[in-house]
Structure 1
Amino acid sequence: MTRGPVLSPPRRPGPRLPEPPPALTGTPCLPPGAREPAGGLDTAPPSNARVYDYFLGGKDNYAVDRDLAERALREAPVLGSLARVNRAFLHRATRFLAERAGLRQFLDIGCGLPAHDTVDAIVRRVHPGCRVAYVDNDPMVLAHARALMALGDGTGVFAGDVREPATILGHPGLRRLIDLDEPVAVLLVGVLHHLTDGDDPDGAVAALVDALPPGSHVAVSHAVRTPQLDAAAGIYQSAGVPFTPRSRERIARLTEGLEPLRPVLPFPADLALSPRGPRPGEHMPLAGHIGRKPARSFDERRSVPR
């Protein structure tokens, strides 16, 4: 496996784009070939996916997203770097799971807007037969993903919410693509910190892991609580967008049912390649973990005489 992420040259958050004419405000232009989902695309509130796209220097965002991003950056300038490092973790984890763990099925939950080097592109450089299911609950993400990704027999895009793992895993189309009798790599990258405690992230992860076959792996990244990120979380919440940084100990409990396989924390700041991030030698407020579902549950293993 190649050591470290391969990142494109650093960019500041995306450029200020011309706003659509007043008559079209709130109705984004979909990619070629995309069809607007039933009920239309609601762009009135900010979107986690579009704010993240802005942090990555993308163009699939609107004034409401850029405004939220810039206000949050004033409280926590590290957020731009955090997005880049989170993306680097996705690339590293995906390569690891395909190369070292030998997995051929990938389930990317909360996939977000397509960006450079998608999961399907990464894993198929390792093995062309890999199958990838993308899941998100944002209609704009789904429209872009279906239009821009090279969707073939081995790739699918499905509507779903991480808070409802049974619905995701029970989707007929996803079940035709992903064989739940064989190990699956599940990616929960930058997703769980967008769930409040009331959303029960522990229960969502536990239900998801419980439904996976032994030998499956789960990759998680999560924002770590700091005073700056707490202040940014208040900005997010005032805009109706959930953002819940948690302590490293609290994040570790989210994956305690998995065998620790490849913890990758803390993150060096230089992975961000961003002048807005911390100074070299400091670490990013991001926790990452890759774990494997054991052949037996934790309770079963604990009961075996030593």
Structure 2
Amino acid sequence: MSLDFESEWAPAGVDVTAPSVARVHDALLGGTGNFAVDRSVARRLKEAVPEVVDLVWCNRAFIGRVVDFFVREAGIRQIVDLGAGLPTVENSHEVAQFADPSVRVVYVDLDPMVEPQARAILGGNPNAVAITEDARDVDAVLDNLELTRLIDLRRPVALMAIGLLHLLPDSDDPHGLVRSYMDALPPGSYLAASNMLVSVNPKAQALEAMLQATMGASHFRSREAIARYFDGLVMVEPGLVHFPEWRPDDRLPGPLATWEELLLGGVARKP
């Protein structure tokens, strides 16, 4: 596909010559909302760490189980998905609304590709919308008219920051960002958060190095640093664990694979 052709169909504001985290993720999942530059990065990632595709699908499965918990067990009917990326299979709104069609979901992403693609997939769904905002700007996100149209911030909200925080350097203060969001939400709200886990494993280090080289965004953190996202909140069992260990649909078949040990996350409630 030529660069000229890609430029013609790309939404306004999209630079088809620079890779995007959301579009690379889409390419790894086999989606179509990506460009040659994104597919090139995806190929390089797969060559360096072939398990990266399994990793992104593991992330998707974790999101599905978390959303199902929010709706079926926690009684949450409002979800804000930060850094949601491009819509793929088993989107948050699909999982949530399968359990209860009245659940309202707002996707938030900085990539200008996300909103138009989500609009096409949502197909006029009255209880789900995507907005183009920088998740680091808490006021801009929570004051967005499309968000406030669907989300009543006086009532409990489930905030999802899965696959986002490891993209933020310490200079962006991701812990302070999470606190700002949770401070703005009422008691009874939930946080689902994750971060890539720092490791001495050579494959983990190869993935981190490749992400830094290709995307300039990969900040693996210690277990202690990841746990700090949940300060002041009440952890939901089983606590802060590797993704496959969080309420698995089936019993774990055995020891975790190396790449599964890179994903650490959890869910907590604001008392």
Deviations 1:26-84 (A, max 9, x none): 44x36xxxxx34xx321211111111112222232222112222222333333211101
Alignment of 1:104-115 (within 5 A): 104-115=77-88
The 8 Å contact of residues 48 and 241 in structure 1, kept in 2 or not, is answered as: no
Q: Identify the residue that residue 238 of structure 1 maps to in structure 2.
A: 213
The 8 Å contact of residues 47 and 241 in structure 1, kept in 2 or not, is answered as: no
Q: Counterparts of 2:98 and 2:240 in 1: how far apart (Å)?
A: 23
Q: Identify the residue that residue 129 of structure 1 maps to in structure 2.
A: 102
Q: Which amino acid aligns with 2:226?
A: I
Q: Which amino acid aligns with 1:281?
A: P
Q: Counterparts of 2:117 and 2:3 in 1: how far apart (Å)?
A: 23
- Report the CA distance between 1:267 and its aligned residue: 3.7
Alignment of 1:78-227 (within 5 A): 78-226=51-199, 227=202
The 8 Å contact of residues 91 and 122 in structure 1, kept in 2 or not, is answered as: yes
Q: Counterparts of 1:149 and 1:47 in 2: how far apart (Å)?
A: 22
The 8 Å contact of residues 227 and 240 in structure 2, kept in 1 or not, is answered as: no
Q: Counterparts of 2:242 and 2:114 in 1: how far apart (Å)?
A: 30
Aligned partner of residue 244 in structure 1, secondary structure? coil
TM-score (norm 2): 0.88
RMSD of equivalent CA atoms = 2.1
Q: How many residues align?
A: 259
Q: Quick one: structure 1 residues 22 and 43, their matched pair in 2 at CA, closer, same or farther if it must change by over 3 Å?
A: closer
The 8 Å contact of residues 230 and 245 in structure 1, kept in 2 or not, is answered as: no
Q: Counterparts of 1:135 and 1:155 in 2: how far apart (Å)?
A: 11
Deviations 1:156-194 (A, max 9, x none): 221212211121111122112100110001111111111
Q: Counterparts of 2:189 and 2:59 in 1: how far apart (Å)?
A: 22
Q: Counterparts of 1:178 and 1:117 in 2: how far apart (Å)?
A: 21
Most deviating of 73-82 and 108-117: 73-82
The 8 Å contact of residues 89 and 288 in structure 1, kept in 2 or not, is answered as: no
Q: Counterparts of 1:155 and 1:68 in 2: how far apart (Å)?
A: 30
Deviations 1:108-146 (A, max 9, x none): 111111111221121112222111111111001112111
Structure 1 residue 73 corresponds to structure 2 residue 54? no
Structure 1 residue 282 corresponds to structure 2 residue 263? no
The 8 Å contact of residues 24 and 38 in structure 2, kept in 1 or not, is answered as: yes
- Report the CA distance between 1:86 and its aligned residue: 0.4
Q: Identify the residue that residue 24 of structure 1 maps to in structure 2.
A: 5
- Report the CA distance between 1:25 and its aligned residue: 4.1
TM-score (norm 1): 0.78
Aligned partner of residue 84 in structure 2, secondary structure? coil
Q: Identify the residue that residue 26 of structure 2 maps to in structure 1.
A: 53
Aligned partner of residue 241 in structure 2, secondary structure? coil
Q: Which has the higher contact order (CA 8 A, sep 6+)?
A: 1
Aligned partner of residue 239 in structure 1, secondary structure? helix
- Report the CA distance between 1:94 and its aligned residue: 0.1
Q: Counterparts of 2:178 and 2:3 in 1: how far apart (Å)?
A: 42
Fraction of identical pairs, as percent: 38
Most deviating of 99-108 and 140-149: 140-149
Q: Identify the residue that residue 247 of structure 1 maps to in structure 2.
A: 222
The 8 Å contact of residues 53 and 61 in structure 1, kept in 2 or not, is answered as: yes
Q: Identify the residue that residue 266 of structure 1 maps to in structure 2.
A: 242
Aligned partner of residue 4 in structure 2, secondary structure? helix
More helix by share: 2
Q: Which runs of 5+ in 2 are unaligned?
A: none
Q: Quick one: structure 1 residues 54 and 23, their matched pair in 2 at CA, closer, same or farther if it must change by over 3 Å?
A: closer
Q: Which runs of 5+ in 1 are unaligned?
A: 1-19, 31-35, 272-278, 295-306
Whichever of the two has the greater Rg, that structure is: 1
Q: Identify the residue that residue 274 of structure 1 maps to in structure 2.
A: none
Aligned partner of residue 186 in structure 2, secondary structure? coil
Q: Which amino acid aligns with 1:53?
A: D
Q: Quick one: structure 1 residues 22 and 112, their matched pair in 2 at CA, closer, same or farther if it must change by over 3 Å?
A: closer
